Structure 1
Amino acid sequence: MIYLNLTILSISLNNLQSWVLAKELFQHKFMLDYIQIPWHFLFAPFFYMFLIHYLEIVNKSLKILRLILPLFFVAILLQVSFVLLYSGTTNVEKLNFIYEKYTSIEEIFSFIISIGVFSYAFYVLYKKENLFPKILSFDNLRWIYLFFIIGSIGYLLWCTALIIKVKMNFTGFIFSYYPLRIYTTLLIFWLGYQSAKQFSLLKERRSLRAVLRTSEVKDTTTIEEKYEEEFTIIHNYILSNKKFTESKITREILAEELGMSKSKFSTIMNSSAQKSFIEYMNELRVKQAKKLLTDSNYNQYTITAVGLESGFKSRSTFYTVFKKHTGKTPAEFRAKK
């Protein structure tokens, strides 16, 4: 949470600095007017650090922030050196041009580093799911994938602004940054909302799961005699290990865990359960949800947390499947308990 807050803070400080300079609040104060803290160096590294901490893979990941922070402070020192070198220049117009040209080179360098870190963060999320199965059991990470899509739009706006800045020879370019400033302002609010929502839900699901560890779901599924023994093994394994609460569980995964071939597993399930694998798992999930919704001990948990902790991938899927099985929405079912 700290690193996500630092991500939001760095974006906010960059926007605030741009507004202060645009309003010329530091006019005629050379040291302040010409030193711009390069907060843009820190956006992607802070988010990357949040990601590896959230996924709980810090010990298996690169510590990128250790490499970026020295560059950040070096960039500040170079700007201070620039001020000291040109402090005696009387031609303000020439000074402005030189400074804008220098900061543009710095910004392009920062853009390349930032998009590189951003891309690597996406690679970690997309290609290394085997490293963070624990968090995946609580969060499907859709909101983080959505952030990468939204973030890509930001980099496109940033790149466009830089191109216009260079094309206009570093003068009269300020308008090109307006879309980016609006975008980052909206991004700050979106990140703040999503972080509060997701961390609250994560905390709630962990609490709910801790309570559920001592509970069991009773089942009355009819078992055909032909595959009774094999199905009983599968059925008991799913219940005792609460496999139905894992939203990403598949027939292939279960077959491998039980040491069965995929074809044998499917044959047993189809013959004994008399329903598809998805229907069978959803039936167990609905039973789990019904139990939680009708038990007063779980009233403090939101319906969304109950649905996700019962094994559904999303709130919308939970509502659809639950209503199909019960004829009521989860909210209606809880209200009429």
Structure 2
Amino acid sequence: MIFMVQKGFLNEEHILFYNALEDAVTLLFSVFIFSQVLQVLFRHQHLYTSILSFDDLKWVKKFVQLGGLILILWAIAVLLNFVSETIKPPYNYYPLRLGTSILIYWIGYQGFFRYVVLQDRIRLRRAIRKDETSQKVIRQDSLQNIQKNAKGESSFNDTDSYIVANQKYLDPYLSLENLSEELEIGSSSLSKLINIHAQNSFPDYINALRVKEATKLLSDTNFSSYTIVAIGLECGFGSKSTFYTAFKKFT
């Protein structure tokens, strides 16, 4: 291209048009790749189920939002290359460069922070969760007692023992519906049972158990090297903010 400019076959206007066209093609290809990544993330979660057991990937939604904003800024810059006579490179690319810099720093922070938390959670899970064999024995004994008594304080005690012994509260996806299905009692009956005897709603009852577990770990010197966030997440809370809110409420 330098040779063609020197020989006079191309002028500055031709070069600017070529650069704008090349940028437009690159943008379209990036949009295509971005859409393919989104399909893998949201349509094929079975490909990374092991990751979902430690990370709900909510941060990916923020990444998608920031990535979408970057693509919009890029599209505006490319459009200005073709239609604007006053705003030309490099000025039309300044917002894009700023947005890209913010995205890069944010990804770096997320990567470092989540890696530390992930390592803590892997070690914590091995330390605090009971093995599946012992849970099966407890589960069968507790279920028989619960199903014999559908009402009353004895049924609540059996239900509470079942939840605690099997560490059901450590599951961040635990809901009234799936627990009642597992216990083979109606969700309304289970909700009423907890409201009467625990004097709490189902979410508050479960969160209180999670806070109790987190408090026990935080006061144990064997777990002093772990981050507070990792302990909160591994005790069943879905996010750092949810853990902090519940901790203030129940302590």
TM-score interval, smaller chain: 0.7 to 0.9
CA contact (8 A) 1:137 1:246 kept: no
Q: Does 2:203 align with 1:273?
A: no
Q: How does 1:95-110 map to 2 (within 5 A)?
A: 95-110=11-26
Letter in 2 for 1:262: S
Q: How does 1:287-302 map to 2 (within 5 A)?
A: 287-302=212-227
Distance 1:225 1:189, change over 3 A: closer
SS in 2 for 1:226: coil
In structure 2, C-alpha distance between the alignment counterparts of 1:138 and 1:197, rounded to whole Å: 14
Q: Structure 1 unaligned runs (5+)?
A: 1-82, 217-222, 327-337
Note the alpha carbon deviations across 1:192-249, whole angstroms, 9 max, x for none. 1111011111111111111112499xxxxxx999345654564344334422122232
Distance 1:250 1:133, change over 3 A: farther
In structure 2, C-alpha distance between the alignment counterparts of 1:142 and 1:294, rounded to whole Å: 29
In structure 1, C-alpha distance between the alignment counterparts of 2:248 and 2:110, rounded to whole Å: 27
CA contact (8 A) 2:129 2:167 kept: no
Q: Does 2:41 align with 1:125?
A: yes
In structure 2, C-alpha distance between the alignment counterparts of 1:289 and 1:250, rounded to whole Å: 20
Q: Which moved more, 1:159-168 or 1:306-315?
A: 306-315
Letter in 2 for 1:277: F
CA contact (8 A) 1:97 1:170 kept: no
Q: Which moved more, 1:166-175 or 1:235-244?
A: 166-175
Match of 2:178 among 233, 237, 253: 253
Q: Structure 2 unaligned runs (5+)?
A: 135-145
In structure 1, C-alpha distance between the alignment counterparts of 2:208 and 2:51, rounded to whole Å: 24
In structure 2, C-alpha distance between the alignment counterparts of 1:320 and 1:89, rounded to whole Å: 65
Matching residue of 2:83:
167
Q: Which moved more, 1:307-316 or 1:258-267?
A: 258-267
In structure 2, C-alpha distance between the alignment counterparts of 1:291 and 1:256, rounded to whole Å: 30
Percent identity over the alignment is 37
Distance 1:94 1:293, change over 3 A: same
Match of 1:286 among 191, 197, 211: 211
In structure 2, C-alpha distance between the alignment counterparts of 1:123 and 1:243, rounded to whole Å: 32
Matching residue of 2:142:
none
Q: How does 1:78-97 map to 2 (within 5 A)?
A: 83=1, 87-91=3-7, 94-97=10-13
What TM-score do you get using the length of structure 2 for normalisation? 0.79
SS in 1 for 2:6: coil
Match of 1:235 among 140, 160, 163: 160
What TM-score do you get using the length of structure 1 for normalisation? 0.60
Q: How does 1:1-337 map to 2 (within 5 A)?
A: 83=1, 87-91=3-7, 94-129=10-45, 132-168=48-84, 172-214=88-130, 226-227=151-152, 230-231=155-156, 234-326=159-251
Note the alpha carbon deviations across 1:152-198, whole angstroms, 9 max, x for none. 21111101000000114799432101111122122222211111011
CA contact (8 A) 2:73 2:96 kept: yes
Quote the offset at 1:89 in angstroms: 4.5
In structure 1, C-alpha distance between the alignment counterparts of 2:14 and 2:190, rounded to whole Å: 71
In structure 1, C-alpha distance between the alignment counterparts of 2:100 and 2:209, rounded to whole Å: 43
How many residues are aligned here?
236
Note the alpha carbon deviations across 1:43-94, whole angstroms, 9 max, x for none. xxxxxxxxxxxxxxxxxxxxxxxxxxxxxxxxxxxxxxxx4xx734435682
> What is the RMSD computed on CA atoms of the aligned residues?
3.2
Quote the offset at 1:128 in angstroms: 4.9
SS in 2 for 1:320: helix
CA contact (8 A) 2:80 2:88 kept: no
In structure 1, C-alpha distance between the alignment counterparts of 2:235 and 2:169, rounded to whole Å: 7
SS in 2 for 1:87: helix
